[in-house]
Amino acid sequence: MNYSKKIVEVIIEESVPVAIVSVGRPDIYTDTLKAAGIKVLHAISTPRHGQKAEAAGVDAVICEGFEAGGHKGFTELTTLTLTPMVADAVDVPVIAGGGIGDARGVLAVMALGAEGVYMGTRFMVTRESDSHSRVKQAIAEIKDVRTVSVPKDYMLARDLINGFTKEYLNMRQAGASNSDLKAFLNGHSQYHSQHLGLADEAEICCGQVAGLINEVKSAGEVINEIAEIINEKFEALHQRLSVFL
């Protein structure tokens, strides 16, 4: 049995209420999950894929912009452009992900047509996250541009620039074979960074928003800070926009 099929079986068995499905066709698991009463959110990176997911019956789509950490499609649409395009293309709720780290990002994607937000890197750098403390520290220390888009044979990943990305990208440039690249990836995977703490030698997926994260906070603090200042940010925006009113 393949790995994703097994995961679907387990989440049905455990009555997980919401499933986020990504990297693949939306018609493979949607019916099975929905028949079990599970809400299905499908991650996409183009408006056309949003429409395909909607046609497959998903409850909402998550649009992941190019800024996002981790694995995504080969398109380079940013959250700023992708979110309104998807909001215009589908009727199901749109959740925006990629580059959101605080109340300003939440407000921005809501203005673009999102009904919810999806934040990965910010929560990875929280006390509750299972990421290794050296990984969290490496991200919290970033003050500027420190991520790079890394092509793999089946998709793009956005990673922290470190010894791993430099070596992997050099190998690709030098024409390394697919099997050599794969072996290198397997030997320097996120298991090695996130669990063993090899923050320079192994791959660390993280988004451009890393440059906004200065501190390892609790997940509750991240949420509360957004809730506390979003009104203030909204009022300030309203004032600025008053020239049009």
Ligand X SMILES: Cc1cc2nc3c(=O)[nH]c(=O)nc-3n(C[C@H](O)[C@H](O)[C@H](O)COP(=O)(O)O)c2cc1C
Binding site for ligand X (CB under 6 A): 22-23, 43, 64, 67-71, 97-100, 118-122, 124, 205-207, 209
Structure tokens at 155: 């998709």
Closest CA to 207 of 104, 58, 72, 42: 72
Q: Give the residue closest to ligand X by C-beta.
A: 120
The two beta strands, 156-160 and 70-72, are: antiparallel
Closest to ligand X by CB, 87 vs 222, is: 222
Contacts 24+ apart (CB under 8 A), 191-200: 193/132, 193/135, 193/164, 194/130, 194/131, 194/132, 194/135, 195/132, 196/132, 197/132, 197/133, 197/134, 197/135, 199/132, 199/134, 199/135, 199/137, 199/138, 199/162, 200/138, 200/162, 200/163, 200/164
Closest to ligand X by CB, 74 vs 235, is: 74
Q: Whole-number minimum distance, CB 16 to ligand X, in Å?
A: 16
Closest to ligand X by CB, 136 vs 245, is: 136
Q: Whole-number minimum distance, CB 240 to ligand X, in Å?
A: 25
Q: Whole-number minimum distance, CB 183 to ligand X, in Å?
A: 20
Contact at 8 Å (CB) between 239 and 165?
A: no
Closest to ligand X by CB, 90 vs 204, is: 204
φ and ψ at residue 179, rounded to 5 degrees: -70, -35
φ and ψ at residue 38, rounded to 5 degrees: -95, 135
CA distance 24 to 44: 9
Closest to ligand X by CB, 67 vs 102, is: 67
Closest to ligand X by CB, 109 vs 174, is: 109
